[in-house]
Structure formats: C-alpha cells, structure tokens
Structure 1
Amino acid sequence: MQDIIKKLDLTEYLETFQELFSRRKNIILEGDINLHYKLINELSKYDFTAPKQVANLDKCLVHIQKQGVLKLDDIYEFTKIIRYFLYLKKFNFEGKLKEWIDKIVIPDDILSLDDFFDSKGNLKEGVDDDFDNIQNAIYKNKELIRQNLHKTINSSKLKPYLVDSQVHLVNDQEAILVRGGFNHVLKATVIHRSNSGFFYIVPHSISELKQKRSDLINKQEEIVLKLCKQISTMFEKHLLFLKFVNKEFDRFDHYQARLFFAKADDKNFLIPSKKNSCKLIDFKHPALRGAKPINVDFSKSVIMITGVNAGGKTMMLKSILASVFMSKYLIPYYADKSSQIGNFKNILAVLDDPQSVKNDISTFAGRMVEFSTLFTQRNAIVGVDEIELGTDSDEAASLFKVIIEELIKKDIKIIITTHHKRLAALLASNDDVELIAALYDEANQRPTYDFLQGTIGKSYAFETASRYGIPHNIVKLAKKVYGEDKDKLNELIERSSDLEREYKQKIQKLDEELEKTKRLQRGLKDQRESLDELIYSEKSKLQKEYKDARDEAKKAIKAKIYQEGHRHLNTAHSKASNIKTEKVKEHEDLKVGDRVKYRSSKGILVSIKGKQAFFENDSGMKMKVPLEELSRSGNIPKPQVKQKATVTVSKPESGHVTLDLHGQRADEAIENLDKFLSDALIAGFDEVLVYHGIGTGKLSFAVKTFLDKHPKIKGYTDAHPSQGGFGAKIIKL
C-alpha cells in the first residue's frame, strides 16, 4: 500500500491524517463502508473530545493470555480505554451509534479500576493502606533530606569550601558543590566532578536517609507487584472482553480521526458507488498548493490524455487514482459532494521507469512485465504515464491499441497519458475511449492547466523548450529539422480525429431522428387503416338499421286496421330513434412515454404495436389495450410513499461472553447454546467461552457436534487450564 500512496503523492496528506489517531495504526478501516459512513455522520452531530494517546495493547493481551503479570503502566492504558467509553456513554446517542455504544457492556470488576488511578496514571490514595503508609514515609524522608542539606549548606565550617548555596541533582542524587579540602570539616562521598575541578558530594548523614528511602521504595514496589498480580488475574478472566473493547476502541479511533480531519479544512466524504463510472467535480489534489480544481467525466473504459508538456497530464492521472483510493478507504478530501466515484477492487499505477541494471531489464521490457500482470486483474483501475515509453512510438501505438482493447473486455478502467498522436488517432473511433487534451495558451505561451474532453492536444515541445531556457536559435533550427510536413501531419491527425468524432455524433443523431420518423409513419398508417375499418363498419350498421325502419314504415302504410298501422308506425319510430352513430375521431399523435388515459385509469404508454398498445397504469399494472381507446392525459400522479419493510433484530439483553451448561441435558444445552451464539453474533463478539464440564463426555460430545455443523463458527479450541481446560471451549465467531 505504501508504494501506491507514494506514487500518487499522498504520503504527506495521509501522515497528517494519521497524526489524529490516538495510537498509530493502518489507515484501512475494515467492514461495511456504508455502515462506517453512517456512524461517522451520526457522530458529527455531537460535540465530543478526542481520546488521549493510548499505547498499543496487542502484546499485553498476549501476555495476559499466557498468565503473565502486567506492569502498572500497562494496566493504566486499559483503564484509559474504559474511561473513554464511560465518557461516550454519557451522550444521548441515537440510531446505529446508540446501538453500537450500548452493546459495550463493561464488567463490574474492570469498572472498579476507574477508582484506582488519577489523571496521570498514579495510584490514588485509599487503594491500598500499606501503599499509602509507605508513600507518606517516603515524603517525610524527602523532607528530612532537604532539611539536612540546607542545614549542611548553612554550616559556618563548610562555607569556605562551598562553590554555591544550591542543591544539585546529579545522577538522581541530591548533592552539594564544594572545593577541595572539604573533608577537613565534613564526611561525605564524592559522586561527580565538575568541569571546573569542583566536587559534587553527598554527606554521610544524607546517605543514611537515602538508604532508608531506597528501602521504602523497594517495599512500595513489592506492594505494587502484588496489586498488579491481582489485577492481571482479574484481566485473565475477562480476556475476551478486553480483546473486544480494544478492537472497538480502534474502530472509534478511526471514526473520530476521519471526522476531525474532514472538519479541519472542509473536506468531504465520497462513498464509492456500485457503478464503476467516475465523475470528479472541483477536485483538488492535496499535494498541490493553490491548484486549479479538476473536472472530469470518466464514464468510459479508457481516458487518453494528450497535450502540452508540463500541462498537468500526469497530475490529472494521479488525481483520478487518488480520488478512487481515498474513497475506497473512507478518507475525506477536497471535491464537490456531487462527484461520483467508482468502486474498484484494485488500484494500480504504472508511472516510473522500470529499467533495472541489476535485473538486466530495459525500460520497455519492464513496462511489458507490468502490463502482463494486468491480464490477471478484474475490476481494477490502472493509470499509465507515458505509455509508449522506451520504444518506437509507431510500433508501440499498434501494440498498445490491441492491449488496451483486450483489457477493456476484462472490466479494467485505464487512464493513459501520451505525447504521441498515432495511438490516440487509432483509438479515437473506439466508443469506450474518451480523449482529453491539456490546453495551451498560445498568446502567453504557457499551459493553462485546463482540460478539454473529446479532442487530441498538441505537445508544444518547441514552445516548452523555449519557456524553460533553450536558446531561441536552437529551437528554430529544431523546427526546421522537424519539418513543416510533420507539423501539418500532426495538425491533420488532430483535426481529423475531431471531425471523425463530430461526424459520428451527427450520424448517431440522424439515425435517432430517422427511427423516430419511421415510428411516426408506422403509427399514421395503422391509424388510417383503423379509421377505414371503423367507417366501413358504421356505414354497414346504418344501412341495415335504415332498411329495418323503412320496412316497418311500409307495413304501417299497407295496414288496413288503424290500430295495427299505428302499432307499425310506433315500431318504425322506435327503430329510427335507436339508430346511433359512433363518432369517428382521429387518433391523437401519441408516442411511447406519453401520459395517457384508458377509461378511468391513467398511466404511461409503454409501446405501440399496430392497433394495439401496451399501457402501464399509475398502480404499476401493465395491460394490452386498443390504441384507439387511449387519450392524452397531462396529469402527473402524486408521488406515493412506499412503506419500507423493516427487519428488527433485538439486541441481546446480556453483554456477557461466557455460557455455563453444567447440569443440563444435551438437548436443553444445545438449545441454550444456539441462542447464546446468536446473541453473541448480534453483539459483535469475536470469541466466546462455553463451559460444558467433563463428566461422562456426553454433553461435551453434543457441544462439539453442534459446533462442527454451525455455519458461523470459524473454529474452537479447549480453554486454557485457568479457564476450564478440557471442560470448556473457546469459540471463534
């Protein structure tokens, strides 16, 4: 990881971030990145203090496991962690943050340590009476030494030999600085000699007091050792909890460091999306001071960056890779929140010259070795600086064109920088390749550090050489040697690539318009045929009904009886009044995607096939209906709030990591064990301890059989003799 960090110029930035940790650790935060971000986001709503510096306790945990005795300083480091979680529990957290902090249940034995130490890690008064008595005796001894020294310094006999009237601390001993001949008036031991030839002495009377203090300190150490043994034994019983709380402290340490790092300079968290497309908006590489924000859309498989020398091509490449790297590991950085970052398994950078004299490998051969490893990668993003480095550019262009097209098939995204336009021209027509040009201000003869997507840029090698001090006459001669024909050829390549992409876009747009016109023509033809059929049907219907009415009228005229004639007229009148014509209406110009109405339902027109249409109503039901029965509807339905299904997993009532199955039947014990393991998994424990005893061995066999079949058990071993030995199991979840 350090290699990619160095290549992307992120070393200083990440070192600044790591300084916010309470103890040094890797920047990787393992687990669900979305859950971590949610907890960090919830934590940002509270005003809390960062934890103090805490030592790494991995070796101490191993020492406890081996029944070792911790030092008082090590015990205090554990106490600092416990105190900080007690501090966090005072906050009224909500949501996931509350669930997480609540599951850290501190045993009473360990809670009592909070009363053992003061803020500096010294034992408080009242923890042990013998310790307090010796502490008072040591204090009195120090006072006697101080008084004795001042009495000796103020002695009239010693004054002629005194260099000064101060008490000096030499080799952790209080001493007096005197001249030679002092032994005539004072019995003392010389412990050091000054550069001026004077002597640092300790009076014999003081030596006796110091010996007494030394004896007191030894007794005090014995009491401390006894206390450390008691606490270490208690720690051994709660070893699983100590491992758990130590890991959870590191997790919180990751959260608080990221949160304070983001707040320091208004940085943003950008969570990788499931899609592999990248879109950077106003990104600033942290290694640059006062840099122009970068905007780039990396939706395609390949970005090829061409253009002016020293125009920011390499930094553009590093910026894209750096944003992916920092998002992958949840490191905040300078970019707009609307940016989108892909999620990649691997991040690779081919930036340096791989030439090696020791391995007898050339630049190009080294590049081939690096590229050969890419064919084994999946879901990776790769940056290649100066891709044609080390060989003939024309041959390299043909080779790398084929290599890049093959890597695209393997779900690999590639960012490439190059000065040679042949490769860019070969890949310009590929739909998976995005061209980007670093721009140059010809009027002021300097790069603008801006980028333009969709085109090939000139290198401006001669202009760059002049800008960096190459004499004008040499540059002019180089242009002459280079020749106007090659310069024009480069311009032609750039122009043709632009035209090709422009024409391709226009052709695509014309194809879309042509297809739309064809659909309209097919729709009009179907409507005309439908109208013709309807008119013919209505005409036939009218003719038949008219004939029936006329026949009834004739019968009425021919009838001799008045009443019967009247009856026929009534029948004719009734038939005539029942003749109804259907209004023939032309179909509206409906197209796929329009909002339409079918009877009392409203929805979206999904597709049209001849006289039939597929219609999806606002309730989500799809149906096939006659096209003629649809009418346009501009009403947009009110959004319906869908009820989200929630699954609630209850948190275990107990925070213990041990279970005692003694005296239980096998079936009863297995049922209790199953529930206990489920609670432990929900609580987030890595290890638990289960007592089953030895006895006849039936219960032990039942427990082993159950654990062998349990899908969430990583493994289990017999416990340490101090924790039950063969009668207990340490289970790893």
Structure 2
Amino acid sequence: MELVKALDLVDFINEFKSFLAREKPLFIEGDINLHFNFINELKKYEFKAPVSVKTLDTEILHIKKQGVLRLEEIFEFVKIFRYFLYLKRVKFEGKIKEFIDSINIPEEIKEVEGYFDEKGELRVSIDDRLESLQMALKQNKEQIRQKLQALLNSNKLQGYLVDRQIHYVNEEETLLVRGGFNHVLKGTVVGRSSGGFFYVAPEAITKLKEKEAAIISQIEEVRLEWAKKISTVFLRWIKFIEYINRAFDRFDHYQARVNFAKAKNLFFILPKNDDKIVLKDFIHPAIANPKPISVDFSKKVLIITGVNAGGKTMLLKSILAATYLAKYLLPMKLDPKSSRIGRFKEIIPIIEDPQNVKNDISTFAGRMLEFSRLFQKREALVGVDEIELGTDSDEAATLFKVILEELMKRDIKIAITTHHKRLASLMAAYDEVELVAAIYDEEKGAPTYEFLQGIIGKSYAFETAKRYGIPLNIVKRAIEEYGEDQAKLSELIERGSELERELRKKNSKLQEEIERVEFLRRTLEDERHSLFTQLKEEKERLSRIFQEAISDAKSAIKAKDTKDAHRLLNKAHQKAKEAKIKEKKISEDIKVGDSVKYRKNRGVVLSLKAKEAYVDFDGIKMRVPLNELKRINPVKKKTQAPKVSVSKPKKLSVKLDLHGLRVDEALEKTDKFLSDSLLAGFDEVLIYHGVGSGKLARAVREFLKNHPRVKSFSDAPPSMGGFGATVVEL
C-alpha cells in the first residue's frame, strides 16, 4: 500500500476494488499471458457481475473440522454456485467456455442451491414443518396487531393514552400511557418517556409474544437441522468447494478488470519480457484535466530536467505507475498499440523526503540509506525525485554519477528528476542514458507540461519565482547577482550536451552505414566470383556446342546422300538452338510513363522501341528488355538527394549477336549489352558482328574505343568467330 500511496494511485485502486465481489490481493496467480488473453476474450461479452460475497477461508476450514455452518454462511457459498450456474447459461466461446464448462457442479450441490430464496432464507417448500410454523408465526403476529388495535380503540383506555401509536421499546410493542393506567390495563412498564409517561407492554400482548418466541425457537431448530444436513453435504464435496471457491476468485479478478475498464474507457497492456518502457498518451489517474504523457524509456537511465513545477515529478510517477498497473494487469488510459512496458520484479520509488523526527536521520543520509539498498536488488525499476536533495549539488552530481555508473552494470533501470544541470551533463555521454526536458513557454511565461527527449532543460528559477508572486525588484537583483557569465555557462552546458548527443547519434549512424557498405562489398565480391565462374563454364559449353554444330554441318556437306545431309543439318541446327537463351514473353502491356520494376530497381519508362524500353532509374537511364519489366505503382518522389542501388542481373548472356542489324540498331544494342554486363560484373564478353563489308565491324570497334568502361578489345580466336567477332575486356 505504501507503493500505491507514493505513486498517487490510492483512489484509483480503491475504485477498482469496488468492482470486486470480495476483497483479495491485486496479484493474479498463474501465467500472466493466459490471464491477459482471458481478459481480452471476456471484453467481447456482456454479462452480469457477481454479487458481493464473503471471504470463506475460515468457513472452509470449519467444514474440514466437521463443524456446522450457520445458514447465513452456507448462503455465501450458494451465491458462488448460483453465479457459475448463471455463467453456464451465457453463450461464451473459446477459452472462457472451456473454463466455465470445466466447473461441473454436483447434483447434491445444485439441490442445496435450490433450498434458498434470493434473500438467503430457506424456502418453506423444502420442509412441511417450516411451512406450518411460518403460517403459525404469521397468524400470531396478526393476533398481536389485532389485540393492539382493540386496546387503542378501548373506551376505558382512551383517557390514559398519550397518543394512538404503537411504540417499540426494547423490541417490544408498547403503549404510551399516563399514570393510573393500572385501573384499566394490565401490563408491564418497560420504560418512561422524557415527559414522565409510561411505556407499557400489555399483558395480553406479552402472552402472544411468548407464543411467538416459542414458534421462532421451533423454526430455529428446523433451520439447525438443515444447517447440519447441508454442512454434511459440503464435507462430502469439500474438494469441489475449495476448487469452486478458487475459481470464483479467478473469475472475479477477470470480471472486475473488464467491467472497470469498460466503465472508465481504459486499456490493458501485457508486460513484455524486457525492460523497455515506451508510453504513448498515458494519463495518470490522479490528475484532473491532464495532458497525455509520451516518453521513450528504452535505455537504462532516464534523467528528467527542466522548469520547476513543470511536471517532472508527475512524469516520474507516471512511468512507475504505468509499470505497476501493467504488472498487475490493471487497465489504464493510454495508446495500447504504441505503448510498451517491460517486466520488473520490484518497483522502488525514492520520492519522499526521508527526514522526520522519528527516525532521527538527515535528508541526505536517508537518501544514501535508500541507495545503498539498491545494490542488493535485481530486475528492479527505480524512480528518484530530486536526486541531489539534501546536499551540495556539485558534490552530489559527482557522487551520483559514480553510483549510477555502478547501477547501470546491474539489472536495474532507474529514472531520476533533477533541476541541476551538472549531473545531466556528466551522464549525457553514456549511450544508455536518455535525457528528457520539461518544456517552458517563454512567451507565456509558464510551463507547458510537455517533454522533449534528447536535451537538458533549463530550470527557469527566476521566471518561476515571478510567476508565483516574488516581487520583481527582488527577482531582478537575484538575476544581477547570478551574473551574465553564469547564465552563459549554463547555456553552454546545455548546448554542449545537446551537440555531444547529436554527434554520437551521427557517429552511430555513420558506423552502421560503413558496416552496411562493407557487407555489400563482400556480397558483391562473392557474386562477382560466382558470375565469373558461371561465365567461364558458359564459354566452355558454348564453344563445345559451337564446334559440334560446325562438325555436323561439315559432315552434312560431305554427305552424298541428300536425306543423310538433311538429317545432319537438322542435328546441327538443333545444337545451335541449344546455345541460344530463350526469351521471356512480354507479360504486361508497358506504356511510356509507367512506373516499372527491373530486378530490384524502380524507374519510369521514357520511351519504347521494339522489345526494349528506355527507363529512368532515379537519374540513371538504361535500355532494358521489355520482358524483364514489371509494372508497379507510381514511384514516390523523394525530397532528399536520390540514392540508387542497382542490383546485378542474375541471368545474362556473355555474347551479343549483331548479324543482320543496321549500324544504329547495332550500336544501341551494344550500349545496352555493355551496361548489363557491367552490372553483372563480367570481365570479358563476346560480340558477333560478322565480316561482310566490314562497315558494321568498324562501327562497333569505333564505339568500343570511345566507351569509358572498355579496357581493351581484340579479334576473337578462330574457334569463337575469328574476324567476325570481337572479344571485349571490361
């Protein structure tokens, strides 16, 4: 309860407890994931909450000792039986249905449930004696009423009656009369009024009351018999009684959370198996007219600085409160999709001033005692308000820096508030330290109760003093004595810390980029080696097929038999076909202006020609086969400098055949072929242009001479085309 009080959650927790059918600890025993899923399922259904039920641990122990329960105690169990019988009629599904169906209520227990009416009284229909005794009791009460009315209407008594009311004194019906009543009325004086009159119980009524007491005694004897009988049944089913009592507590945990969340429009968060805390639009339940809080506390230490009375303490309490509520699966006000809360064995607030008369300890000494205990903790979340409280801030900053460094090595997560900049500036260099500043509106001269991460905030002590009524002349003198140099130094500390953090972030990003580039370099090197091996194997295969085709063609020429010649020529043609790469069919109707994807690259079609497209890949323009393009959604224009990553083609021929093409067509194809070969990482390619008049060969070699990425070129060896082909080194 001390933790709840320190986090300002007392009213919130008490309100939640009002939704429970009976008092119990907040913690739900068992698998928290199972409980969370059960609660989420239960939110889908509308059902009645259980009525208030007494804690029955003592009664269960009494049953085990073969004791006899009172009917009032038995009815508390009946409430539980009745609630589960009701739940079985609700159309639940999934895990909830399985849970409810697993509670099989024995027939004997169902009979006991039927013995009682809604008010907890035994039904008279279960025992003839009860029915007759109840009738006799009713008749006796009617006789008492009639007798009293007769006395009130008696002429002899009229002169002695003070009023015509029936007064209940010591649970007896009496008449208020004057002195001398004994001449006309026999009865017993049971009291006197402030006016000196007498409260008299008439003798006739007394006899009827004695008869009533006798009837009630007989009824109690019958009730005791039934109490013994039911207690015997409970003893036989004691294991079931214990089980359903535990099951009721479990379901009570669930229904209270679900109904409380629905009533207050709250959300549940399942704690994750880490120590990250990310809150989005969290609202502390103790704040009236709140501003939602958003904070990322993923690191080991969070230092909250900034303006006095700007919400630093409430941010600290909000972090601890949200963690506490998540730990016990209690709903809260926040954005559940964007929020994340880790799991902690213990939540430790160091918030209050430890100094008091009883413990005879100073503020700082008390803080040191609280910090000393942290070194024995594990998996704890600690919140410290005004960490330098009670001592010199400069000395405390150095001391707490060392303490925090040591705690960071342990499995402890700690959030602190401070209005001094020294500790924040000392800790800002650590990667596991996050800075948060409370924002101050300088134009309005008031805090905004909002927070900005990554900076050290100003305390705005002078502005706060003015806002709360300190005379302006006093504040002005204080500013003068504080000095311009101190103000500048303070600003330099804040700015220096900010710049340092920015530099570390940039260095971190740069290092990540270097690692990424290095990874790409290694990957490209591996791919290049693989492609070179494939190229070599392809060259050998093509050369072998080419030689076989030539050999078959020569054999066909030498053949005297025409049929045999045709057969050998067909065989040669077939082998030549094997050396060709099958072209893919154009699967999509690509048009100029379409956004397309070529392997891993995205671009826009500039023009179309035959089976090729001229495409702009973010500034790099290339000709690519139409059958290798895929139309996509329009490419969004980037506002920053474009970065293009062109992937290497996975499949590409190492040769280009220009036979039968005009010069301009041949050069266009050569340009595109060389671009693809460079992307693939080929060192050497082969271009077939034929001998003919020599015009095409000269044009191709002139083009190669001026190409910036061509190292050299030469005639192909006789086995690969001789003068009719050119080997190009890239």
Distance 2:408 2:421 in 1: 20
Query: Which residue in the other structure is 2:480 paired with?
Result: 480
Distance 2:436 2:301 in 1: 10
Shift of 1:389: 1.2
Does the CA-based 8 Å contact 1:117-1:124 persist in structure 2?
yes
Does the CA-based 8 Å contact 2:552-2:571 persist in structure 1?
no
Please list the CA deviations of residues 132-174 of structure 1 after superposition, one character each: whole Å capped at 9, or x if unmatched.
Answer: 2222222111111111111111111110111111212222111
Shift of 1:327: 0.8
Distance 2:600 2:18 in 1: 64
Does the CA-based 8 Å contact 1:138-1:213 persist in structure 2?
yes
Does the CA-based 8 Å contact 1:258-1:331 persist in structure 2?
yes
Greater Cα offset, 326-335 or 514-523: 514-523
In the alignment, residue 478 of structure 1 is paired with which amino acid? A
Distance 1:541 1:133 in 2: 112
Secondary structure at the counterpart of residue 159 of structure 1 = coil
**TM-aligned CA distance change 1:57 to 1:546, over 3 Å:** closer
Secondary structure at the counterpart of residue 59 of structure 1 = helix
**TM-aligned CA distance change 1:458 to 1:179, over 3 Å:** same
Secondary structure at the counterpart of residue 389 of structure 2 = coil
Query: Which residue in the other structure is 1:491 paired with?
Result: 491
Does the CA-based 8 Å contact 1:538-1:582 persist in structure 2?
no
Please list the CA deviations of residues 358-403 of structure 1 after superposition, one character each: whole Å capped at 9, or x if unmatched.
Answer: 3332211211111111112111111111111122212221221222
Q: What are the within-5 Å matches in structure 2 for residues 165-564 of structure 1?
A: 165-338=164-337, 339-518=339-518
Please list the CA deviations of residues 210-249 of structure 1 after superposition, one character each: whole Å capped at 9, or x if unmatched.
Answer: 1221222222222222221222222222222211111111
Distance 2:484 2:205 in 1: 97
Distance 1:361 1:299 in 2: 35
In the alignment, residue 411 of structure 2 is paired with which amino acid? D
Distance 1:123 1:78 in 2: 14
Does the CA-based 8 Å contact 1:538-1:581 persist in structure 2?
no
Distance 2:47 2:381 in 1: 38
**TM-aligned CA distance change 1:497 to 1:149, over 3 Å:** same
Secondary structure at the counterpart of residue 419 of structure 1 = coil
Shift of 1:541: 9.6
Distance 1:299 1:55 in 2: 44
Query: Which residue in the other structure is 1:122 paired with?
Result: 121
**TM-aligned CA distance change 1:406 to 1:179, over 3 Å:** same
Does the CA-based 8 Å contact 2:550-2:572 persist in structure 1?
no
Query: Which residue in the other structure is 2:9 paired with?
Result: 10
Shift of 1:571: 11
**TM-aligned CA distance change 1:209 to 1:631, over 3 Å:** farther
**Count of matched residue positions in the alignment of Structure 1 and Structure 2:** 586
**TM-aligned CA distance change 1:348 to 1:545, over 3 Å:** closer
**TM-aligned CA distance change 1:226 to 1:555, over 3 Å:** closer
In the alignment, residue 415 of structure 2 is paired with which amino acid? I
Secondary structure at the counterpart of residue 149 of structure 2 = helix
Please list the CA deviations of residues 432-451 of structure 1 after superposition, one character each: whole Å capped at 9, or x if unmatched.
Answer: 11100000001111000010
Distance 1:480 1:543 in 2: 92
Q: What are the within-5 Å matches in structure 2 for residues 30-179 of structure 1?
A: 30-179=29-178
**TM-aligned CA distance change 1:532 to 1:269, over 3 Å:** closer
In the alignment, residue 473 of structure 1 is paired with which amino acid? N
Does the CA-based 8 Å contact 1:546-1:576 persist in structure 2?
no
Please list the CA deviations of residues 50-95 of structure 1 after superposition, one character each: whole Å capped at 9, or x if unmatched.
Answer: 1111122111112212222211111111111111111111123221
Does the CA-based 8 Å contact 2:301-2:415 persist in structure 1?
yes
**TM-aligned CA distance change 1:536 to 1:102, over 3 Å:** closer
Secondary structure at the counterpart of residue 161 of structure 1 = coil
Shift of 1:182: 1.2
In the alignment, residue 448 of structure 1 is paired with which amino acid? T
Shift of 1:429: 1.2
In the alignment, residue 246 of structure 1 is paired with which amino acid? N
Secondary structure at the counterpart of residue 113 of structure 2 = helix
**Structure 2: tracts of 5 or more residues without a match:** 582-597, 602-647, 651-676, 682-730
Query: Which residue in the other structure is 1:689 paired with?
Result: none
Secondary structure at the counterpart of residue 260 of structure 1 = helix
Secondary structure at the counterpart of residue 429 of structure 1 = coil
Distance 1:556 1:39 in 2: 83
Distance 2:38 2:177 in 1: 66
Secondary structure at the counterpart of residue 109 of structure 1 = helix
Distance 1:543 1:102 in 2: 77
Secondary structure at the counterpart of residue 275 of structure 1 = coil
**TM-aligned CA distance change 1:536 to 1:258, over 3 Å:** closer
**TM-aligned CA distance change 1:176 to 1:477, over 3 Å:** same
Does the CA-based 8 Å contact 1:177-1:200 persist in structure 2?
yes
Greater Cα offset, 181-190 or 125-134: 125-134
Distance 1:555 1:164 in 2: 146
**Structure 1: tracts of 5 or more residues without a match:** 592-610, 614-627, 633-733
Shift of 1:188: 1.7
Distance 1:553 1:157 in 2: 153
In the alignment, residue 290 of structure 2 is paired with which amino acid? A
In the alignment, residue 493 of structure 1 is paired with which amino acid? I
| TM-score when normalising by structure 1 | 0.73
Distance 1:335 1:158 in 2: 75
Does the CA-based 8 Å contact 2:308-2:459 persist in structure 1?
yes
Greater Cα offset, 146-155 or 123-132: 123-132
Distance 2:382 2:423 in 1: 18
Q: Whose Rg is larger?
A: 2
Over aligned residue pairs, what C-alpha RMSD do you find?
3.5
Identity %: 54
Distance 1:222 1:528 in 2: 100
Secondary structure at the counterpart of residue 160 of structure 1 = coil
Query: Which residue in the other structure is 2:609 paired with?
Result: none
Distance 2:571 2:87 in 1: 90
Secondary structure at the counterpart of residue 319 of structure 2 = helix
**TM-aligned CA distance change 1:131 to 1:511, over 3 Å:** closer
Secondary structure at the counterpart of residue 40 of structure 1 = helix
**TM-aligned CA distance change 1:196 to 1:631, over 3 Å:** farther
Shift of 1:356: 3.9
Shift of 1:537: 8.6
Shift of 1:508: 2.5
Please list the CA deviations of residues 226-273 of structure 1 after superposition, one character each: whole Å capped at 9, or x if unmatched.
Answer: 221222222222222211111111111111111110000211111111
Query: Which residue in the other structure is 2:712 paired with?
Result: none
Distance 2:54 2:579 in 1: 94
Does the CA-based 8 Å contact 1:545-1:575 persist in structure 2?
no
Distance 1:494 1:10 in 2: 35
Distance 2:63 2:122 in 1: 21
Does the CA-based 8 Å contact 2:156-2:184 persist in structure 1?
yes
Greater Cα offset, 504-513 or 225-234: 504-513
Please list the CA deviations of residues 253-301 of structure 1 after superposition, one character each: whole Å capped at 9, or x if unmatched.
Answer: 1111111100002111111112221211111000011101111111111
Shift of 1:574: 9.8
In the alignment, residue 19 of structure 2 is paired with which amino acid? L
Greater Cα offset, 190-199 or 571-580: 571-580
**TM-aligned CA distance change 1:523 to 1:33, over 3 Å:** closer
In the alignment, residue 29 of structure 1 is paired with which amino acid? I
In the alignment, residue 403 of structure 1 is paired with which amino acid? I
Query: Which residue in the other structure is 2:664 paired with?
Result: none
In the alignment, residue 37 of structure 2 is paired with which amino acid? K
